[in-house]
């Protein structure tokens, strides 16, 4: 009996052969990995969109806008004149200023004590402090501030006689309102207003008025 020159190769061990269970497990792992990547991508996209929307709202709708303070009118009261022209020495003179604070924001503007000072030719002749308050969102808050005038300071001014003879008295005012607006975060705002007005001594009415407003954030 002749021996064959070719040797028979042994079969691979059973452990090295890929089974159908291993193939199914690998396929399931790939599917789960793809789902996980898709979920992570969706979550990242949602968070990114939310961040962009918040930034846009902060710089548009929720942007802190300047409160607007206005001097609506001034009423002269308790004016004691001699011969209908000259203030009586030692007498009191008061002016009621109608001040409004407009809040254009979507949140309330809470302000502290308001301060109003009156000047005549650069000299302080009276001041007043208004109470703190709150202007609701997109609303206007009005208040009356009573300023007591120190007439003795008026009488010491050398140009008072000529102003009285003309029947007109020019005075200026400075009003300051400080507060804060909270839209997501708190923002401190200070509004100041300088006004120049001409008072008719006879009618006790304001004939001319010019105001300039300044806001500090």
pTM: 0.62
Q: How many helices (H) and strands (E) does the chain have?
A: 3, 12
What digits encode the pLDDT tens for the residues 168-214? 888 888 988 888 887 767 778 888 889 898 877 777 677 888 888 88
Grouping H, G, I as helix, E, B as strand and the rest as coil, residue 168 is strand
Helix ranges (DSSP H) in 68-200: 151-155, 160-166
What digits encode the pLDDT tens for the residues 20-72? 666 667 776 777 778 888 888 888 888 888 777 766 666 665 677 778 888 77
CA distance 200 to 195: 16
């Amino acid at each position: 009996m002749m021996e064959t020159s070719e040797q028979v190769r042994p079969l691979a061990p059973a452990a090295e052969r890929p089974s159908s269970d291993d193939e199914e497990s690998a396929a399931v792992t790939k599917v789960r990995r793809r789902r996980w990547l898709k979920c992570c991508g969706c979550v990242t996209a949602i968070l990114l969109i939310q961040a962009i929307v918040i930034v846009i709202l902060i710089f548009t709708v929720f942007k802190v806008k300047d409160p607007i303070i206005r001097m609506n009118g001034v009423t002269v009261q308790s004016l004691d004149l001699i011969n209908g022209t000259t203030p009586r020495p030692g007498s009191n003179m008061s002016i009621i200023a109608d001040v409004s604070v407009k809040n254009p924001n979507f949140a309330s503007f809470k302000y502290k004590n308001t301060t109003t000072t009156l000047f005549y030719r650069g000299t302080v002749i009276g001041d007043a402090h208004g109470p703190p308050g709150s202007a609701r969102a997109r609303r206007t808050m009005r208040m009356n501030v009573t300023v007591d005038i120190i007439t003795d300071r008026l009488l010491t001014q050398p140009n008072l006689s000529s102003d009285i003879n003309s029947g007109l008295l020019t005075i200026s005012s400075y009003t300051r309102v400080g507060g804060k607006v909270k839209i997501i975060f708190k923002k401190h705002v200070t509004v100041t207003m300088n006004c120049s007005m001409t008072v008719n001594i006879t009618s006790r009415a304001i004939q001319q008025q010019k105001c300039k407003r300044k806001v500090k954030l």
